[in-house]
């Protein structure tokens, strides 16, 4: 009688995201409790692979820390964004 061996292979993957920006915006995030990098809504959309209108609707559900910048542009805490992507 033949003997069959079972071989199980597990593959673990990691994802690395490199963000290069010319202008770094460091701002105090009240929810994180420390200074963080902020990205504007359009950059957040690129990172999350979402269009801007969908991104604004999903921001609360995904618990992103969203603030309004001095120029009225929406800013997203990069740490909270990357935790959910």
- Residues 38-82: tens digit of each pLDDT: 888 778 878 878 777 777 777 766 778 888 878 888 888 888 888
- Do the domain assignments include residue 20? no
pTM exceeds 0.75 for this model: no
- Do the domain assignments include residue 68? yes
List pLDDT tens digits, range 14-26.
Answer: 777 676 665 668 8
- Do the domain assignments include residue 1? no
Domain hosting 61: range is 26-84
Torsion of the alpha carbons at 50, 52, 57 and 63, rounded to the nearest 10: 70
- Do the domain assignments include residue 4? no
Q: What is the CA radius of gyration of the chain?
A: 19
- Do the domain assignments include residue 44? yes
- Whether the Cβ atoms of residue 43 and residue 52 lie closer than 8 Å to each other: no
Q: In total, how many domains does the chain have?
A: 1
- Do the domain assignments include residue 67? yes
Tokens 């990098």 sit on residue = 37
């Amino acid at each position: 009688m033949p003997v069959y061996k079972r071989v199980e292979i597990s593959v673990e993957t990691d994802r690395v995201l490199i963000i290069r920006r010319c202008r770094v915006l460091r701002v105090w995030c009240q929810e994180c409790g420390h200074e963080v990098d902020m990205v504007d809504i359009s950059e957040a959309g690129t990172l999350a692979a979402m269009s801007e209108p969908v991104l604004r609707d999903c921001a609360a559900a995904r618990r992103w820390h969203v603030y309004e910048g001095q120029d009225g542009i929406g800013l997203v805490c990069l740490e909270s964004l990357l935790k959910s992507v």
